[in-house]
A and B are shown apart, each in its own frame.
Chain A
Amino acid sequence: AQSVTQLGSHVSVSEGALVLLRCNYSSSVPPYLFWYVQYPNQGLQLLLKYTTGATLVKGINGFEAEFKKSETSFHLTKPSAHMSDAAEYFCAVSETGYALNFGKGTSLLVTP
């Protein structure tokens, strides 16, 4: 069965600092992996996804994530945080690409 664990329900970083949001997954087959972002009072939008091929995936707004099969991880990073990055971030896994299982989310706070 597919599942996702996001470590840390809240993460706080200073503006300009590295952002690291952790995601570990469980899947019985090679997974599809996703990061979605939810800004206040908005729906979720796709940040980036891994399906096959290159394990380092680049997304919108300077975010990237690396698929590490040996660690069953898909951590999200951004070299330098902006105030506008404050949002809720969700990692998701799918074994088929049809049904996505989401983690519980990590709320990112960016302080001046």
Chain B
Amino acid sequence: GAGVSQSPSNKVTEKGKDVELRCDPISGHTALYWYRQSLGQGLEFLIYFQGNSAPDKSGLPSDRFSAERTGGSVSTLTIQRTQQEDSAVYLCASRPPGPNTGELFFGEGSRLTVL
């Protein structure tokens, strides 16, 4: 597809379970970001991948959160032992290479509900 694709679009899970959220960036985009959007909290930066460089994990809220990006393309965000406070919309964005203009292209998000 032409845009950033995220799956699943909706995920309901029980507290304590692990979940995986997937992001397919726009083809050719070298940078990939994960943000978390909670009601009233805006967008919270989680992690950033740029090419083959070590990812910037400074926004991950706890060691239950991890992410990987395979082959410089698809990324998976994993949340282990989910808690109710993890309920949010998880947004993925990608950015093209070239002159740095800062524009991010966002997917529609994965809505996670932890019961």
Q: Are B4 and A90 in contact (CB under 8 A)?
A: no
Decide if B40 is an interface residue (CB 8 Å cutoff).
Answer: yes
Known A49-B102, A97-B101, A97-B102: A42·B108 in contact at CB below 8 Å: yes
A98 to B56, CA, bound (A): 11
A99 to B56, CA, bound (A): 9
Known A43-B91, A43-B109, A105-B42: A100·B104 in contact at CB below 8 Å: yes
Partner pick for B102 among A43, A98, A104, CB 8 A cutoff: A98
Decide if B52 is an interface residue (CB 8 Å cutoff).
Answer: no
Interface size on A, residues (CB 8 A): 25
Q: Are A44 and B45 in contact (CB under 8 A)?
A: no
Chain A residues lying within 8 Å of B3, measured Cβ to Cβ, are 43
**Residues 8-46 of B contacting A (Cβ, < 8 Å):** 31, 35, 40-43, 45
Decide if A111 is an interface residue (CB 8 Å cutoff).
Answer: no
Chain A residues lying within 8 Å of B40, measured Cβ to Cβ, are 9, 104
A49 to B102, CA, bound (A): 9
Decide if A34 is an interface residue (CB 8 Å cutoff).
Answer: yes
Sorting the interface of chain B by its residue count into under 10, 10 to 19, 20 to 34 or 35 or more gives: 20 to 34
Chain A residues lying within 8 Å of B91, measured Cβ to Cβ, are 43-44
Q: Are A51 and B102 in contact (CB under 8 A)?
A: yes
**Would you give the 0/1 interface string for A82-108, flagging 1 where the beta carbon is closer than 8 Å to chain B?**
000000001000101111111111000
Decide if A45 is an interface residue (CB 8 Å cutoff).
Answer: yes
Chain B residues lying within 8 Å of A41, measured Cβ to Cβ, are 108
Chain A residues lying within 8 Å of B50, measured Cβ to Cβ, are 98
Chain A residues lying within 8 Å of B65, measured Cβ to Cβ, are none
Chain B residues lying within 8 Å of A36, measured Cβ to Cβ, are 106
A46 to B106, CA, bound (A): 9
**Would you give the 0/1 interface string for B41-74, flagging 1 where the beta carbon is closer than 8 Å to chain A?**
1110100101000001000000000000000000
Which A-chain residue is minimally distant from B95 (CB atoms)?
Answer: A98
Decide if B85 is an interface residue (CB 8 Å cutoff).
Answer: no
Q: List 13 A-B contacts (CB under 8 A).
A: A43-B106, A43-B108, A43-B109, A44-B106, A90-B43, A97-B102, A98-B48, A99-B48, A100-B45, A100-B102, A101-B45, A102-B42, A105-B42
